[in-house]
Amino acid sequence: MTVKVLCVSDFMWSLSNDHVLSCSLDGTSRLWEVASGKSIRCIADQSGAEVLTCCFQPLNNNFFLVSLRIEEGGVHTELLAASMCS
């Protein structure tokens, strides 16, 4: 399976180095399994807002933060859960 990702804006390795979190301007955040190179979770913003930055929660990699560009020209930050992460 091929995953098409448009304009990756940020990425971060998990503390255990077995997952990578990426976000892109197409409004998606993806969790990647490093060993297989596969996307194991994709979360899309319902409004299609560009996802500018992402980071794992430092003490619990089951959660991550993303910052979205909103229409009014501002930035909105959301806490998301990634249950596939260890």
**CA–CA separation, 86 and 80 (whole Å):** 15
Domain borders along the chain are 8-81
Q: What is the DSSP letter of 49?
A: P
| Predicted confidence (pLDDT) at residue 14 exceeds the cutoff of 80 | yes
Q: Which residue has the higher pLDDT, 59 or 82?
A: 59
CATH 2.40.10 assigned to domain 8-81? The reply is: yes
Q: What is the pLDDT at residue 22?
A: 93
Question: pTM value?
Answer: 0.77
Closest by Cα among 55, 74, 57, 48 to 10: 55
